[in-house]
Amino acid sequence: MESHFPPEMQTVFKNVENNFSPWAMSPDDRDKWAEDLQIKTMADVMASGENVEYLFWVGCAGSFDDRNKKVSRALVSVLRKAGIKFAILGKEEKCTGDPVRRMGNEYLAQSLIQENVNKLNEYNVKKVVTACPHCFNAIKNEWKDFGGNFEVIHHTQLIARLIKDGKLKPTKGVDEKITYHDSCYIGRWNNEYEAPRAILDSIPMVKTQEMEKNSANAMCCGAGGGRMWLEEHIGTRVNIKRTEQALATNASVVAANCPFCMTMISDGIKAKDMAEKVRVADIAELIDQATI
Amino acid sequence: MATVLIYAEHKDGKIKKATHELLAEAARSGAEPVAFIAGQGVEGLAKDLGAMGAKRVIVAAGDAVKFYSNEAYGKLFVDAVKSVNPAIILMSSSAQGKDLAPRVAAMLGVGLASDCTKVKIEGDKLKCSRPIYAGKALADVEFTGPAPQFATVRANALSIGPVQDGASPAVTSLPLDTGALKTAVKDVVRGASAKLDVTEANIVVSGGRAMKNSENFALLEKLSAIQHLAGMRTSKVIVAINKDPEAPIFQLADYGIVGDLFEVVPLLTEEFKKVLGEH
Amino acid sequence: MNIFVLIKQVPATETKIKINATATGIDTTGIKWIMSPYDEFAVEEALRVKEKNAGSTVTVVSAGPQRVAETIRTALAMGCDNAIWVETPEEIDSFQAAKALAGVLKKETKPDLVFTGKQAIDDDCAQVSQLVATFSEMPYVTVALSAEYGAGTVTVKREVEGGTTEIISMPTPCLIAAQKGMNEPRFASLPNIMKAKKKEIKQYKMADVGVTDGDRKIKLVNLQLPPAKQAGKKISGDAATQAKELVRALHEEAKIV
């Protein structure tokens, strides 16, 4: 039995194999997003003998995609405001393998997972926070088969908890109408509908408006299952459909908590020529904006 | 005085600009530039080569060499090398040059410096540098084998020189002694867009998704029609126009305008016309 | 048919280039090595011809130091039948590489077809294909976009500038240097990757194929990184002001108008 991959898929496999990310970018540049932020790496932490509470798993999008690098930086700002001690893997971080596993390349996915698990165990990592739901789902639910047993929390879950505990105080108003787009891997797959909404409700001046299809009924942005990397040749593009649903709320901000949703919906807004009226913001960015 | 043998290229009855660049460098260095040209009906181009700096021209003309083939043109060029006995050989790093030069190098048993972006002839020696790793690094070339020193040169790496109308170079005809050929050119198919090849163009104007439809490209065509440029430098300049100040293209561009292209481009076209009108 | 494909192992395309201590090459610490991308099209084309001609074999050949074995196995995993490695020092030039590869072709069963990639993405010399063909007295076509194979003859579509293509026919044995897009290289399947780990690679020393240090014609020296690109200038003002200022800058500073 033979497999046939569309050509664009092969490029992703090749990049993940050679560059440890789906992009044709040098793994040497993986931590460039954090250049001026002086974030400790797990290697630094291990060498100095100190302790951090969390490994911040940045993920490939948060490391290499220009728009999502801003989200990574916003999360760093928020974690620091809340006094959370964390470190990153930096150049040692490799793709979790989620996109290639979803696309069927078990061999490549498993070799990546094992390498990552070994690395995390080497650094005695106990808790992981990530801004990417795909990384979240992979590390939380799939890595235990490879000896990776970690306490994994998504950034919106952590931020919601920090607000509840008073460690983050949203005091600055954000005067926008916001509609929240449930990412599949946080929503349907991992049953978290409350935390992101609680965060938005805690920000002064925010007015929220649900899309018709929300929570368990939310529609995918179109990027899951590896489709972020593939062309669509038939019918209406999924991201356009979802964007139309978001625009129907007349919100000025679409709140996302996933780098792929961020990309797909931003693209949809540009395609609909609404980029001057509507923007996509990650929840971390909104909280950063609302806190001192 | 060293002799520099230059492989001349022509298209649609004109000598290519890249050939002029090579002749100009040879002339500037004080060497004796000798040009080789092959093709059908190219006898008439010998005086153009002379005007561009060739002191001698070796012509291999005839129906048998109407189409380029590395076998035929390679054999004839090697015959020319043997008769001229140059210290240096230069070819343009064009499709033809890239295909042919290594064959010639093998036949002569000499080394070849490919696709050089820096070239200087010093006496009978070639000082050249070439990009490697897709231009991520630059290397100088040391020739450790026998003469002649041989390089292919990227277009626009050298500047052209003055044109001396009325020059009359010494012209030699080469017998078309190609021997039995194995390759046969069946056809040459021009591209669907019979427009100027990008490497010959001085300015490339490109439009993205914001253009929305093909009618709007007419705006860009008006801009790119402005071609009367004197004293072109070899440096590439990138100008970006985008409504989004964060657009990644601004990281690449030498000059950036944050604005609406439908507003800016027509104004640019007018400004270009004004500046060029002054010349 | 007896088919050969010549490949080169190179640093992964996105490798950050660091110059080595002697400035004659790059620092190879921590480098991920891959098959030069153009060579993948060559391997794929060789395999397709094999599949259409019962009883054919594909032999992959590569010259280089010990590390190239890994890339030879990638070619085996794609489906090549036999493998040959010519051991050479780290730094050799195109002339030596081509002489070594042509030397192998001479020693092995006479090839009907030889496939290569049009250039290797490390030194970008784009010479070895033509050198090998000339040393082997075979006709060649480089920058091949596609090829059709008949009895004892090959017709190749070759890419030149300006969107023009040439159609060239030549008799076998001949050499074809693949351009990007010649085909879609297959992905090595897991069973084939496993099988390839156990396959034997025939080994030659450089001297066995008549190549010496004295055959070196070109040395690359004084390697440098290009000067850092300066940040671009953003031109401000309303559209009319921007247009005026841009043209002034292009005229007076960049001097291209």
pLDDT band at C251 (very low <50, low <70, confident <90, very high): confident
pLDDT at A122 over 80: yes
Indicate if the pLDDT at residue B33 is higher than 60: yes
Average of per-residue pLDDT across A229-242: 90
Residue A205 DSSP label: T
Nearest CA in chain B to C19: B137
* Position B99 pLDDT exceeds 50: yes
Q: What is the mean pLDDT of chain A?
A: 95
Q: What percent of chain B has pLDDT over 90?
A: 62
Residue C96 has pLDDT above 50, yes or no: yes
Q: Within 13 Å, how many C-alpha atoms sit on residue B107's CB side?
A: 21
pLDDT of C106 over the 60 cut: yes
Question: Which of A3, A24, A107 has its CB closest to that of C13?
Answer: A24
What average pLDDT does the segment A36-40 reach? 96
| Residue extents of the structural domains in chain B | 3-173, 209-277
* Cβ proximity of B141 and C218 under 8 Å: yes
Put simply, the answer to whether A3 touches C32 (Cβ < 8 Å) is: no
Give Cβ neighbours of residue A274 (< 8 Å, ≥ 6 apart). Answer: A247
Banded model confidence at residue C250, pLDDT cuts 50, 70, 90: confident
- Read off the tokens for C245: 């200022």
Q: Is B191 on the interface with C (CB under 8 A)?
A: yes
CB contact under 8 A, B145 and C218: yes
In chain B, residues 233-252 whose CB comes closer than 8 Å to chain A: 244, 246, 248
**Both tokens assigned to A207:** 């007015």
Residues near B236 by beta carbon (within 8 Å), at least 6 away in sequence: none
CB contact under 8 A, C190 and A13: no
**Average pLDDT in chain B:** 87
- Which residue from B minimizes the CA distance to A267? B209
Is the pLDDT at B225 greater than 60? The verdict is: no
Query: Is 60 exceeded by the pLDDT of residue B278?
Result: no
Task: Tell me the count of A-C CB pairs closer than 8 A.
Answer: 29
Calculate the average pLDDT of chain C.
94
The pLDDT of residue B215 is above 80 = no
Check residue B272 and give its pLDDT: 84
pLDDT tens for each residue of B53-79? 999 999 999 999 999 999 999 999 999
Q: How confident is the model at residue B203 (pLDDT cuts 50, 70, 90)?
A: low
Task: Taking residues A184-208, report their average pLDDT.
Answer: 96
A74-104 pLDDT tens trace: 999 999 999 999 999 999 999 999 999 999 8
CA A277 to chain B, closest CA, distance in angstroms equals: 13
Contact A24/C193, CB-based, under 8 Å? no
- Domains plus CATH for chain C? 2-215 (3.40.50.620), 228-257 (no CATH)
Does the distance separating the beta carbons of A66 and B248 come in below 8 Å? yes
Question: Are A7-160 and A170-290 equal in CATH topology?
Answer: yes
Chain B neighbours, 3+ Cβ pairs < 8 A: A, C
Both tokens of B89, joined, read: 């050989």
Find where tokens 């992905």 sit: C187
CA of A6 vs chain C CAs: smallest distance (Å): 9
Give the model's confidence band at B229: pLDDT under 50 very low, under 70 low, under 90 confident, else very high. Answer: very low
Instruction: Tell which wins on pLDDT, B190 or A137.
Output: A137
Q: How many CA atoms lie within 13 A of B137 on its CB side?
A: 25
Name the nearest CA neighbour of B71 among A182, C86, C174: C174
The verdict on C189 touching A (C-beta cutoff 8 Å) is: yes
Which runs of E-coded beta strand occur in chain A? Answer: 54-57, 86-87, 127-130, 151-154, 177-180, 207-208, 253-256, 279-282
| A13 interface with C at CB cutoff 8 Å | yes
For residues B259-270, b (16+ Cβ closer than 10 Å) or e, as one string? bebebbbebbbe
Tokens representing residue A149 in the block: 């047993």
Helix, strand, or coil (residue B229):
coil
Hey, where are the domains in chain A?
A: 7-160, 170-290
Of C12, C184, C187, the CB nearest to A19: C12
| Residue from C10, C13, C14 whose CB has the most chain A CBs within 10 Å, to mutate | C14
Burial zone of B278 (CB within 10 Å; 0-12 exposed, 13-18 middle, 19+ buried): exposed
Dist CA B119 CA B23 (whole Å): 12
Residues of chain A in contact with residue C13, where contact means CB-CB under 8 angstroms, are 18, 24
The mean per-residue pLDDT over the stretch A199-213 comes to 97
- Element at B3 (helix H, strand E): strand B3-7
Section A279-289 average pLDDT: 97
Structure confidence at residue B253 as a pLDDT band (50, 70, 90): confident
* pLDDT at residue A3, as a whole number: 65
DSSP-H helix ranges across chain B: 17-28, 46-51, 70-84, 95-108, 217-224, 249-252, 261-277
Tell me: pLDDT of B231 over 50: no
Q: Rg for chain B (alpha carbons), in Å?
A: 22
Q: Distance between CA atoms of C86 and C104, rounded to whole angstroms? A: 8
DSSP for C76-133 reads: HHHT-SEEEEEE--S---HHHHHHHHHHHHHHSSPPSEEEEES--TTT----HHHHHH
Find the closest chain C residue to B262 by CA distance.
Answer: C239
Classify residue C26 by its DSSP letter: B
Secondary structure (DSSP) of B88-139: EEEEE-SHHHHHHHHHHHHHHT--EEEEESEEEEETTEEEEEEEEGGGTEEE
- Considering only CB atoms, C217 lies closest to which of B143, B238, B270, namely B143
The structure tokens 């401000």 sit at C236
Distance, CA of C5 to CA of C200 (rounded, Å): 17
Amino acid at the residue B177: D
Q: Which residues are within 8 A (CB) of B206 and not within 5 positions of it... i.e. 6 or more apart? A: none
Q: Which amino acid is at B185?
A: V
The CATH code of the domain at B3-173 is: 3.40.50.620
CATH among 3.30.300.30, 3.40.50.150, 3.40.50.1220, 3.40.1030.10 for B209-277: 3.40.50.1220
Mutate to test the interface with C, among B127, B265, B267 (most CBs of C within 10 A): B267
> Phi and psi for A111 in degrees, rounded to 5?
-65, -35
CB atoms within 10 A of CB C240: 13
In contact, B147 and C132? CB cutoff 8 Å: no
Which CATH code fits A7-160? Answer: 3.40.50.1860
Residue B164 in 3-state DSSP? Answer: coil
From the candidate CATH numbers 3.30.70, 2.20.25, 3.40.50, 2.40.50, the one assigned to the domain spanning A170-290: 3.40.50
Among chain A residues, CA nearest to C32: A18
Under a CB-based contact definition with an 8 Å cutoff, are residues B8 and B68 in contact?
no
pTM for this predicted structure: 0.86
Do residues B153 and B93 make contact, with C-beta atoms less than 8 angstroms apart?
yes
Taking a contact as any Cβ pair under 8 Å apart, which residues of chain B between 4 and 63 contact chain C? none
User: What pLDDT shows up at residue B234?
Assistant: 37
pLDDT above 90 for A217: yes
Concatenated DSSP letters for A32-64?
A: GGGTTT-PPBHHHHHHHT---SEEEE-HHHHHH
Residue A26 above 60 pLDDT?
yes
C-alpha distances in Å from residue A267, one per residue of A1, A70, B209: 37, 17, 12
**Which of C16, C190, C193 has the CB atom closest to A28's CB atom?**
C16
Choose among B53, B63, B75, B62: nearest CA to B8. B53
For B100-118, how does the pLDDT look when each residue is reduced to its tens digit (9 = 90+)? 999 999 999 999 999 999 9
Sign of CA dihedral A50, A56, A62, A64: positive
Please indicate whether, in this complex, the C-beta atoms of A275 and B246 are within 8 angstroms of each other. Answer: no
Q: List CB contacts of A273: < 8 A, sequence separation 6 or more.
A: none
The answer to whether the Cα torsion of B227, B230, B235, B240 is positive or negative is negative
DSSP-derived letter for residue B215 is G
Residue A275 to residue B244, Cβ atoms within 8 A: yes
Q: Does A196 score more than 70 pLDDT?
A: yes
- pLDDT of C66 > 90? The answer is yes
Of B182, B239, B272, the CB nearest to C139: B182
Are A72 and A282 in contact by the 8 Å Cβ rule? The answer is: no
Distance, CA of B16 to CA of B10 (rounded, Å): 5
Q: Which H or E run contains B141?
A: strand B137-143
| A62: number of Cβ within 10 Å | 27
Phi/psi of residue C251, each to 5°?
Answer: -80, -50
Say whether A184 sits in a helix, a strand or coil: coil
Q: How far apart are CA A167 and CA A79, in angstroms?
A: 10
Q: How many angstroms separate the CA of residue C14 from the nearest CA in chain A?
A: 5
Please state, for a pLDDT cut of 70, what percent of chain B lies above it.
85
Length, in residues, of chain C: 257
pLDDT-based confidence at B224, cuts 50/70/90?
low
